[in-house]
Amino acid sequence: MQQNAPSSEPIVSLRDVQKSFGSLRVLDGVSFAVARGEVLALIGRSGSGKSTALRCIDRFEKVDGGEIVVCGHRVDRPDVNLRALRQDVGIVFQSYNLFPHLTIEQNITLAPCAVKGMASSHAKDLARKVLAQVGLEEKLHAYPEQLSGGQQQRAAIARSLAMQPKVMLFDEVTSALDPELTGEVLKVIEQLAADGMTMVMVTHEMGFAKGIADRIVFMHRGKVHETGPASILTSPTTPELTQFVGTGNLKS
């Protein structure tokens, strides 16, 4: 395994992370780091542990061993301040998970008001701003069910952005979308990358990963099997990654 040590203090770092579900070892000594402003793509087959690795960063899974540091929070420790951690980390899920009973505006303003104590008028301005960022200003007063899948996912990204996270996690955010709706979500993520957002994304969109990621982490059987710049997708060194990108995963 090769390691590109980031020059500055990493925003996210995993060291020798272990995680099992029962007798199944999902993460078997996973290490990688993400520097400020870096975009890291986690790729691999289903069951390779990439989503679990991502969820460990926000402590949606507790690790059995190893060290995870995210924005200075020791995530592997039981006494980690979860709410402080999650103010620094934004996460977007495959199934959007917008709150169906709230308008898009209320979805976005809820956490800034409830968690940060932001004034309602200020939060509403913020909602407008982040919705403009994802191109959905006109949906401010709509309910989630009135939006297409792609719009819902963009609204979910806006909701995360409103908390002004230091790092964003994307867990297969286009996997539930029809191909024609995937593009609009990817474009938003591309813009975020261009704006310098630090991001970790689990993705099956190899063409997208290749275009946007500063670094690729290819996971295989719970281990980081191969890692390097996006160019490893076109010239993989391990037979497993060669096979993975060769099985039609590399769409442009």
Partner 1 sequence: MSLQLDFPAVLERWPSFLAGAALTLELAFFATVLGALLGTVAAVGRGTHNALIAGACKVYVETIRNTPLLVQIFLVYFGLASLGLKYSAFTVAVAALTINVGAYTAEIMRAGFEAIPRGQIEAAEGLALSRLQIYWHIILLPAIEKVYPALTSQFVLLMLASSVCSQISAEELTAVANYIQSDTYRAFETYIIVAVLYVILSLVMRAGFWGLGLLLFPRRRRLGTPL
Task: Kindly tell me which of 145 and 180 has the beta carbon lying closer to partner 1.
Answer: 145
Contact between 149 and partner 1 (CB under 8 A)? no
Contact between 153 and partner 1 (CB under 8 A)? no
Task: Kindly tell me which of 99 and 211 has the beta carbon lying closer to partner 1.
Answer: 99
Task: Kindly tell me which of 108 and 233 has the beta carbon lying closer to partner 1.
Answer: 108
Min dist. Cβ of residue 186 to partner 1 (A): 21
Residue 149 dihedral angles phi and psi, to the nearest 5° = -55, -45
Contact between 156 and partner 1 (CB under 8 A)? yes
Q: Are 127 and 108 in contact (CB under 8 A)?
A: yes
Contact between 252 and partner 1 (CB under 8 A)? no
Run of H or E including 121: helix 120-133
**CA pair distance 239, 48, nearest whole angstrom:** 16
Q: Are 54 and 27 in contact (CB under 8 A)?
A: no
Contact between 80 and partner 1 (CB under 8 A)? no
User: Residue 23: how many CB atoms within 10 A of its CB?
Assistant: 5
* Pairing of the two strands 167-171 and 198-202: parallel
Residue 79's alpha-carbon distances to 1, 62, 72, 123, in angstroms, are 32, 12, 14, 31
Q: Which of 21, 72, 132, 146 binds partner 1 (CB under 8 A)?
A: 146
| Of 39-47, 128-136, 154-162, 233-241: span binding partner 1 (CB under 8 A) | 154-162
Min dist. Cβ of residue 18 to partner 1 (A): 22
Structure tokens given for 123: 């939060």
Q: Return residues touching partner 1 (CB under 8 A).
A: 58, 60, 82-84, 86-87, 89-91, 93, 95, 97-103, 110-111, 114-115, 143, 145-146, 156, 159-160, 163
